[in-house]
Amino acid sequence: MSLINYASREINCKIVYYGPGLCGKTTNIKYVFSKVAPETRGKLISLATELDRTLFFDFLPLNIGTIKGFKVRFHLYTVPGQVYYNASRRLILKGMDGLVFVADSQTDRFEDNIESLKNLEQNLVSHDMKMDGFPFIFQYNKRDLPSISPVEELESVLNQKGAPFFEAVASQGIGVFDTLKEASKLVLRLLTTT
C-alpha cells in the first residue's frame, strides 16, 4: 500500500522480491545496491543466518528523485525463500505495491518454482489480495547455467496470466535493472489509476 504524505511531500512504494530458496532474490537487491549512485540509496539491511541465507528479509530504500515537488521512494524487500520460513514470508507481503517473482531456471528447480508460486498465492489470501490485483513481474534467473529450462516452458507453466518477464543472470547484473525498472514503472502507473 503506497503511502502518499502530502505534508512532507513524499510518496513511498514497496516492491517485494519473491521466489524459491537460492533463486537469487538477495543477489538482485545486492546488485542494485552496488550499482546505483550512493546518494540515491539507503542502507542495505540483511536479516540473514550465519550462512548468509535470508532469515527474515533484505531491505533497500531507493530515492527515485523529486517529481512535481514530491520525493518518490521505493522500498525493496526480499522474502526468505526456504520453505520453513513461511511465517516471515507472509509478513513481508503486507502493504506491498508490486512483486517480482524470481524463478530459478535450472531444470532441477522447476518444481520449486511452482511450489513457491502456489505458496505466494496462499499467502496473498491472508492479506485479502489476489494475484492479479497488483503489478507482477517474472524474472527467469540463472540463464547462464548449463541445465536450464527453455523460457517458453517456464512461461507456459509459471506465467499463465502473461505478466511481463525478463531473463536474467543476477550474479552478473544481467536483467536486474530491466526487471526493477519495469516493476517500478508499473507500480507508479497504478498510482495514477487509484
- Binding site residues, another protein, CB under 8 A: 1-8, 11-12, 14, 32, 36-37, 40, 42-43, 45, 47, 56-57, 59, 61-62, 64-65, 67-68, 70, 72-73, 75, 87-88, 91-92, 94-97, 129, 133-134, 177, 180-181, 184-185, 188-192, 194
Closer to another protein by CB, 119 or 149: give it: 119
Contact 47, 57 (CB under 8 A): yes
Q: Tell the smallest beta-carbon distance from residue 149 to another protein (Å).
A: 27
Q: Tell the smallest beta-carbon distance from residue 127 to another protein (Å).
A: 10
- Our CA dihedral for 189, 115, 86, 15, rounded to 10 degrees, sits at -10
Closer to another protein by CB, 87 or 145: give it: 87
Q: Tell the smallest beta-carbon distance from residue 162 to another protein (Å).
A: 20
- Our CA dihedral for 18, 20, 23, 27, rounded to 10 degrees, sits at 40
Closer to another protein by CB, 88 or 107: give it: 88
Closer to another protein by CB, 61 or 107: give it: 61
List CB contacts of 46: < 8 A, sequence separation 6 or more.
26, 54, 58, 59
Q: Tell the smallest beta-carbon distance from residue 29 to another protein (Å).
A: 13
Q: Helices in 39-98 by DSSP H: which ranges?
A: 86-92
Q: Tell the smallest beta-carbon distance from residue 147 to another protein (Å).
A: 30
Q: Phi and psi (nearest 5°) for 190?
A: -65, -35
Whether the CA torsion 39, 45, 51, 54 is positive or negative: it is: negative
